[in-house]
Amino acid sequence: MQLDPQGVAPEDLSHAGSVVDKAIEYMMEQKIAPVSVASALLGGALGLLARTMEDRAIAAVLRNALASVESGGIAGNAGASAGRPAPPRRDVRGHAKP
């Protein structure tokens, strides 16, 4: 998340998140594979960042995201916010992980 100089998230972040959640919900209803949905969203996000930020700033955003993954900061959250059980975790080849 890009914070403003005072360390506060932009006012429209919640709105943008809601729009993205609805888009994800729609794509899942269309039976689009979760990895395809995520890849498309990530590609779109990177494209937007590339048009609006310098490469060093993009790299910092990506390092922050990677640190969250590696620290377990996003593990186990899948489905929880929607009140559904989390789908099985998968490795890079799509195989279920324990």
In this prediction, residue 12 carries a pLDDT of 87
How confident is the model over 61-92, as pLDDT tens digits? 999 999 988 998 887 655 444 455 555 666 55
Find how far residue 80's CA is from the centre of its chain.
Answer: 15
* Helix or strand run (H / E) with residue 40: helix 34-52
Count, residues in the chain: 98
pLDDT one-digit tens code per residue, 11-55: 888 899 999 999 999 999 999 999 999 999 999 999 999 999 999
In which band, very low, low, confident or very high, does the pLDDT at 4 lie, cut at 50, 70 and 90? low
Query: What are the angstrom distances between the C-alpha of 91 and each of 10, 25, 46, 65, 80?
Result: 33, 22, 22, 18, 20
Residue whose pair of structure tokens reads 């972040």 in the numeric block = 13
| pLDDT confidence of residue 74 | 80
Indicate the pLDDT class of residue 10, thresholds 50, 70 and 90.
confident
Q: Give the pLDDT band (50/70/90) at residue 60.
A: very high
Give the residue extent of every domain in the chain: 14-82
Alpha-carbon separation of residue 6 from 14, 16, 50, 53, 62 (angstroms): 18, 20, 24, 19, 21
pTM of the full structure: 0.62
The span from the CA of 30 to the CA of 33, in Å, is 9
- Only one residue has tokens 């709105």, namely 15
